[in-house]
């Protein structure tokens, strides 16, 4: 591949033997053409056409993954506009509008992060609960009973864990207890 004669685009040369085996050439859909003096097949394209082709290729790869980027962008715009009545900002002026939109986008991101962390925590809790159930089944099969003293320790551990989660949720642990 090299730059064209007018330096506005690029030229790609192809071997005739390779092109004859190509299904596009056999169907008559190949955009490469032979020159008058040079019998090699060539294809002219500009920088914009190359970038457009790369963009289409990336978009097709994302669609094959099962993700639609346009839907994600539209959902983000809706989520940023949603808190405002009729989707319009209650302020005038470029600076104030910019501040409101940045604040709305920041809150959207905070909400998404919080939902992600909550789902992750819920998944970890489900794994722990499954492990506890399996341990209890093993204890029941072996005929062992839980010691009442251990049950009290277990209750205390759950209580402390819930208290820590509650305080961490409201960030009061650091304010009230200093740790």
Say whether pLDDT at 95 is over 90. Answer: yes
pTM comes to 0.41
Q: List, for residues 37-57, the tens digit of each pLDDT value.
A: 877 888 888 889 889 999 999
Q: Flag whether pLDDT at 118 surpasses 80.
A: yes
CA 42 to chain centre: 40
**Distance set, CA 17 to CA 12, 14, 26, 44 (Å):** 15, 9, 12, 19
């Amino acid at each position: 591949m090299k730059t064209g004669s007018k330096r506005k685009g690029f030229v790609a040369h192809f071997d005739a033997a390779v092109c004859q085996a190509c299904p596009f050439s056999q169907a008559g859909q190949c955009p490469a053409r032979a020159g008058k003096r040079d019998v090699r097949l060539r294809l002219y394209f500009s920088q914009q056409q190359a970038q457009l082709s790369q963009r289409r290729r990336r978009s097709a790869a994302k669609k094959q993954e099962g993700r639609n980027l346009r839907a994600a962008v539209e959902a983000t715009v809706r989520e940023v506009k949603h808190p405002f009545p009729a989707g319009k900002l209650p302020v005038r002026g470029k600076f104030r509008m910019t501040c409101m939109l940045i604040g709305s986008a920041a809150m959207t991101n905070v909400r998404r992060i919080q939902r992600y962390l909550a789902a992750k925590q819920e998944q970890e809790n489900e794994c722990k609960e499954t492990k506890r159930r399996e341990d209890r089944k093993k204890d029941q099969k072996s005929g062992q009973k839980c010691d009442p003293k251990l049950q009290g320790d277990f209750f205390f551990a759950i209580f402390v864990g819930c208290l820590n989660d509650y305080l961490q949720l409201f960030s009061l642990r650091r304010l009230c207890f200093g740790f």
